Amino acid sequence: MCRLALKTAREPFSPYDVLTAMEAMQEGYDGSGLGLLLRGMEFEDFRYNPKFPILSGIAESEKAWRRLDSFMEERGYELKYDHKFHMKRAHMNGKDRYRYFVRAYRMPDRFADADQDARETELLKTRLALRRDGEEHGGDLSVFSFWPDVTMIKEVGWPLQVGNTLSLHDGQIKARVCMAQGRQNTNYGINLYACHPFFIQGIATMTNGENTAFVPIRDWLIGRNLPGYIGYQSDSEVFTHILHYTLKHLKLPLQIYKHIITPLNAAELDKHPQGDFLKGLRDACRRLIIDGPNAVIGTLPDETCLLVMDHKKLRPATVGGREGVWAIASEMCGVDAMIPDRDPALDFQPMREHTVIIPPQRKELTVWSQYEQFPLSQAA
């Protein structure tokens, strides 16, 4: 079972904080992968403007690196900042990567007057084109995210070791939201893209466990023919795509996510104030019902963070913190490591009907129950 840690704070902090939480929970993973997602970026040597999309990934060779450079240039992107990790290769026991890159770009001029949708689609398509390019060249280029204010790092290895290799403790990179997952490689092969968190258009989730309903869900998502619904080296990637599908394609509120992945049963829906709508939704989205055990932790473009469980609730997850700073982790010791000075009595472990939300203001937790009514015009 993987270990998960997420910290969100008003003041940007070093991702190393979250890696120490991973260290506290170290018995739960095997070094087959670490994924890090940072949102709300701050760089020591650059005044970052959050409207610049950040491209993050790995180039395995100089050739791949040159290809990436010229591709972005041809597409009209202007490089604003290129972060140089202070690499300590002695700590690296896996493959010696040519370059980890975190680069901020200005969008091409043709998007100056474009609406939000067009810009978001362009970012997605650029990331996919780069990913495809890497795959066509023997996997020499991996791109994990291309989105404003978001950086992603993925590597095979133990979390702290990866952090030390990249000198993440040096304070050069900070973020307001950081999520990390130590991967216990299960049924699918070791592959950088298979490391959580998974990312699509600003939406990211990570999971500890196994989604046994993966194959039918994957088949259905692929059948949609929507850009970005590809990959699926991990059974957990569908959680991200279902969240994306719910919010971006169906344009439904966040509360619906839980109703889609783990609908209530018929008897419970009979009593629900929006039971009629939800029953229909359950039928329409029956193919997206997940079968855990899983705890799903995610963040949204507005820095909202969330935690939901599958219906069996056989995976642990705890949320705790205080005003301004909150942490979600798969183990209590992970929360302790990230926010030691909180009141642990106020920690919350969601039940299967709950969605825990940490809103962008980070004042307090919101806990939604599936049994409650929620605002939705369609359900009237």
Taking the least distance from each CB to another protein, the nearer of 266 and 351 is: 266
Question: Which is nearest to 298 in space by CA: 311, 309, 290?
Answer: 309
Q: How far is the CB of 15 from another protein (least distance, A)?
A: 25
CA distance 16 to 34: 13
Nearer CB in complex with another protein: 215/346 = 215
Residue ranges in contact with another protein by CB under 8 A: 1, 184, 186-187, 209-210, 212-216, 219-220, 222-225, 245, 249-250, 252, 262, 265-266, 277, 280-281, 283-287, 289-293, 310-312, 314, 377-379
Q: Measured from the CB atom, is 51 or 287 closer to another protein?
A: 287
Nearer to another protein, 286 or 322 (CB): 286
Q: Which two tokens stand for residue 377?
A: 């015009």
Smallest gap, in angstroms, from Cβ of residue 276 to another protein?
Answer: 10
Comparing CB distances to another protein, the nearer of 70 and 265 is 265
Amino acid at 352: R
Which of 66, 287 has the CB closer to another protein? 287
Task: Tell me the closest approach of the beta carbon of residue 102 to another protein, in angstroms.
Answer: 31
Residue 5: beta bridge partners? 180, 329
Taking the complex as a whole, the smallest distance from the CB of residue 153 to another protein amounts, in Å, to 24
Residue type, 329: A
Query: Minimal distance in Å, beta carbon 48 to another protein?
Result: 37
Q: Which residue has the tokens 């240039």?
A: 73
Nearer to another protein, 70 or 187 (CB): 187
Least separation in angstroms between CB 29 and another protein: 10
Kindly state the smallest distance separating residue 50's Cβ from another protein, in Å: 32
Closest to another protein by CB, 211 vs 318, is 211
Bridge partners of residue 13, in order along the sequence: 175
Specify the amino acid at residue 360: P
Minimum separation from the CB atom of position 308 to another protein (A): 14
